Amino acid sequence: MKSKKVDVHSYAIQALPHLGRILKENQSNLERIVKRLVADVSQGRSLFVFGSGHSALFSFELYHRAGGASFVIPMVADFMLPSAGPSMVRVFERTSSSALPLLSRSGIKKGEMLWICSQSGINAAGVELALEAKKRGFYTVAFTSIKHSQGVESRHPSGGRLFEICDTVVDLMGEQGDAVVKVAPGLNAGPLSSLSAIFLGNSIITAAVAQLESRGIRCVYISVNTPEGEARNKSIEKRAAMRDPLLR
């Protein structure tokens, strides 16, 4: 049988239903995270987000942008961003202690929430970060694909994977290898993990900020390319800078 032609619709055919599935399957956990996040921010707490390689895009997508929330603080380092190059990122994300300095720089406090994003959930840096975060009393949430993670071995000496360590798991429901569109025998393109994590992260943030804004807690940035955007954002940013090291 002749294989179906891959065209500009092929990725959407896989991705759009997938987004609906992961929202439905994770709904109860998402709602619990929203509830905790609203309570945290109401008490002056912040939300911290980590990812390495392409998972770092999750942190940046949620950070300091039009429609984004001022309480989000990314835990980032240049050597773990895609711009550092695959060979450098690969070394550091597989090194257990490489992400730990980010905990100190971030200023995260006991009881605050840390989201850790990783499709496979096996790299040593993320696993070590989760283990140390729990030791210090932070609330950890893994954005990871359980099926993928269960099918591969951890790169951390403990043998642990994010879904086994974190307090709450948001399942991205990705396959091993992430990509979902078959372009040749044994070869797929069209990764879903970044799209899935960003979709679910924004789903949580949107629900939380709606409640917070209704309580008079101003926390949503708007576009600075609008007449009112600059003034609103400056006032919000001034408060956010008290916690966010990237704003100082």
What is the rounded average pLDDT of the residues 85-92? 96
- Domains of the chain in start order, with CATH, are 10-176+186-247 (3.40.50.10490)
What is the rounded average pLDDT of the residues 189-208? 98
Per-residue confidence (pLDDT) for residue 1, from 0 to 100: 46
**Whether the Cβ atoms of residue 154 and residue 165 lie closer than 8 Å to each other:** no
- Other CB atoms within 10 Å distance of the CB of residue 167: 15
Residues contacting 187, CB < 8 A, separation 6+: none
Distance, in Å, from the CA atom of 117 to the CA atom of 49, rounded to the nearest integer, reads 8
Per-residue confidence (pLDDT) for residue 234, from 0 to 100: 92
Per-residue confidence (pLDDT) for residue 231, from 0 to 100: 87
- pLDDT at position 163 over 50: yes
Give the residue, 195 or 232, on which the prediction is more confident.
Answer: 195
Distance, in Å, from the CA atom of 161 to the CA atom of 124, rounded to the nearest integer, reads 9
Tell me phi and psi for residue 74, to 5 degrees: -80, 140
Q: Is residue 226 very low, low, confident or very high in pLDDT (cuts 50, 70, 90)? A: confident
Distance, in Å, from the CA atom of 75 to the CA atom of 162, rounded to the nearest integer, reads 17
- pLDDT at position 3 over 90: no
Q: How far apart are the first and last CA of the chain?
A: 61
Q: Is residue 35 very low, low, confident or very high in pLDDT (cuts 50, 70, 90)? A: very high
- pLDDT at position 23 over 50: yes
Distance, in Å, from the CA atom of 146 to the CA atom of 181, rounded to the nearest integer, reads 20
What is the rounded average pLDDT of the residues 179-207? 97
Per-residue confidence (pLDDT) for residue 188, from 0 to 100: 97
Q: Is residue 159 very low, low, confident or very high in pLDDT (cuts 50, 70, 90)? A: very high
pLDDT tens, position by position, 42-69:
999 999 999 999 999 999 999 999 999 9
Buried/exposed code over 24-47 (b: 16+ C-beta within 10 A; e: otherwise): eebeebbeebbebbbebbeeebbb
Per-residue confidence (pLDDT) for residue 248, from 0 to 100: 85
* Mean pLDDT score of the chain: 95
Q: Is residue 216 very low, low, confident or very high in pLDDT (cuts 50, 70, 90)? A: very high
Cα 33 from chain centre: 13
Distance, in Å, from the CA atom of 52 to the CA atom of 68, rounded to the nearest integer, reads 21
Tell me phi and psi for residue 143, to 5 degrees: -105, 100
Distance, in Å, from the CA atom of 142 to the CA atom of 134, rounded to the nearest integer, reads 12
Stretch (H or E) spanning 81: none
